[in-house]
Structure 1
């Protein structure tokens, strides 16, 4: 029985994982002096953060109202 809440949970988990990996990749790129890669990875890292903020956790008993 997979519902919308399960999909949102998996989406949040996936984006969190991607963001974590990007953070690690950024450190490697910094150590290598790859400035353009650092910039591009940072942009992807920030986008992942934006996605995390947009995917709101479903809260039981919230009165049925969801913020956009």
Structure 2
């Protein structure tokens, strides 16, 4: 896809990245809304957010090393 002077290629890794991001955001949405919209998050939502954030940070750090 070409927009102006920029060319964007949409490859299989791009598709899987978008699908994964969508699933993670959907999961986080349901996990945080699971407590009925309480202002204080429950243990499950806190631990799941920490797990996801740590995984993403590890992935980014690994990519920066390459």
TM-score w.r.t. length of structure 2: 0.52
CA RMSD of aligned residues (A): 3.0
Unmatched 5+ stretches in structure 2:
1-9
Q: How far 1:54 sits from its partner (Å)?
A: 5.8
Q: What is the alpha-carbon distance in structure 2 between the residues aligned to residue 10 and residue 44 of structure 1?
A: 19
* Correspondence 1:45 to 2:42: no
1:1-68 paired onto structure 2 within 5 Å: 3-26=12-35, 28=36, 30=38, 38-52=42-56, 67=64
Q: Which has the higher contact order (CA 8 A, sep 6+)?
A: 1
Q: Specify which structure has the higher proportion of strand.
A: 2
Q: How far 1:40 sits from its partner (Å)?
A: 2.3
Unmatched 5+ stretches in structure 1:
32-37, 57-65
TM-score w.r.t. length of structure 1: 0.51
